[in-house]
Structure 1
């Protein structure tokens, strides 16, 4: 099975890029399953259930979130209404929603799990490594095909997670920084890995935001409003070819498509 993992979708330009490219790839049979990070899909902030559901309707099989999960108050109540919208599993106990979903496909079940890192992130998250152990030894103990979205700032922490889970999951892919890395690989024990998928959003921008206000903030130290940039978008991500029987990845291909 060919699984497309789409980097952080930023605002309307990112949503448009996803609809035009990812949905078409699925319709044309280029990919079989799509995981989309919708962390910044609503004007660069966390999505409402309506926006996340629109991504599902456009072709995503699962939408993952991140540290902006609760930006929209509607998501706090709405996330439990759609199991294919997931937040990090190591959010504090009592947080709404779930940190994984098991999707039945024609070729068998596929699990998507999300973890959030702690280095350079806000405090309060449980240890992602220990949470991964608990889930893989518990609820997901009988699953073979597992894709893990690791949402975080530090490359080292995400790399460590990839190595830690090698041979235990099908793929580990990083999200959050909006900067695509070129280190895609399949580890020795069969786990596909990339430190960051990148961003699906406006090309001429700084992490999806208008250039001038961001530069002005660095020059002056004065706060500015960082609106989502306009212009032509780019879709970034990766495609993993996975064996649905063994759960091992055959290959991983980094993609970057300009609209």
Structure 2
């Protein structure tokens, strides 16, 4: 089996990259299942029903989220029917949504889990290490893909070693910059610190340079604007052995 995970889709240009390139990517790499992080897919923050349906129409089979999950209040109107959406598993229990879902592909069961980090985040998230211990007590799927939406590389690397051999992949998102540390840990768990961002490539992590630099040079709050320049698509392709279900290759993609 081959799985494609697409990094944080940011705004309209990120969605256009999915529309323009996903079909060819699936054909080129013989992809069986596609996961994408969509927490910034609606104008750089959150997701709407129209955007959710657009991503599915263009070939995304599972959509993970992150710290901006509920930025668009419209999500609350359709989240119960959004059966391809995976929200952070270790978020406050009072928040709606499903944090770990099982999908079926050719009699293989694929579990997709979304986690939030705690380092330099808002402080309201449940410890992801303990949360995974609790979740894994009930997991026996063929593949288990974890989107770890976290700020620091150290926390992501730590979780990857903690879950080595217990999940199929730990894939970092959130920082929007693709890292060059992809590997397979102990020949059991695929890992990368950050998959990268799918969206504006010449701004500052998706936003216009002017809006970010204004705040950084003046210290004044300023609305961050989505950059409208050229775009990129970042992701990883993971290949699994059909008999053992273990990962045998992880490859970075950047268009």
TM-score class normalised by the smaller sequence? over 0.9
Q: Unaligned regions of 5+ residues in structure 1, if any? A: none
- The CA distance in 2 between the partners of 1:133 and 1:244, in whole Å, is 26
1:146–1:247 contact (8 Å) kept in structure 2: no
1:145–1:246 contact (8 Å) kept in structure 2: no
Counterpart for residue 180 of structure 1: 178
Greater shift, 99-108 or 6-15, is seen at 99-108
Q: Unaligned regions of 5+ residues in structure 2, if any? A: none
Q: CA deviation at 1:237?
A: 1.1
Greater shift, 7-16 or 74-83, is seen at 74-83
1:256 aligns with 2:254: yes
Alignment of 1:66-81 (within 5 A): 66-81=66-81
Counterpart for residue 197 of structure 1: 195
2:46–2:68 contact (8 Å) kept in structure 1: yes
CA displacement 1:14-57 (0-9 Å, x = unmatched): 00011111233225563111110001011100011221221111
Match of 2:234 among 233, 236, 247: 236
Counterpart for residue 23 of structure 1: 23
Q: CA deviation at 1:10?
A: 0.5
- The CA distance in 1 between the partners of 2:66 and 2:13, in whole Å, is 20
Q: How many residues align?
A: 255
CA displacement 1:98-136 (0-9 Å, x = unmatched): 111111112511111111111100021111111111111
Compared CA separation, residues 112 and 244, structure 1 to 2 (3 A): farther
Q: CA deviation at 1:143?
A: 1.2
Runs of 4+ in structure 1 deviating by more than 6 angstroms, as ranges, are none
TM-score under structure 2 normalisation?
A: 0.96
1:102 aligned counterpart, secondary structure:
strand
Match of 1:167 among 158, 165, 168: 165
Greater shift, 214-223 or 61-70, is seen at 214-223
Greater shift, 222-231 or 31-40, is seen at 222-231
Give the root-mean-square deviation of aligned CA atoms. Answer: 1.3
1:79–1:86 contact (8 Å) kept in structure 2: no
TM-score under structure 1 normalisation?
A: 0.94
Counterpart for residue 152 of structure 2: 154
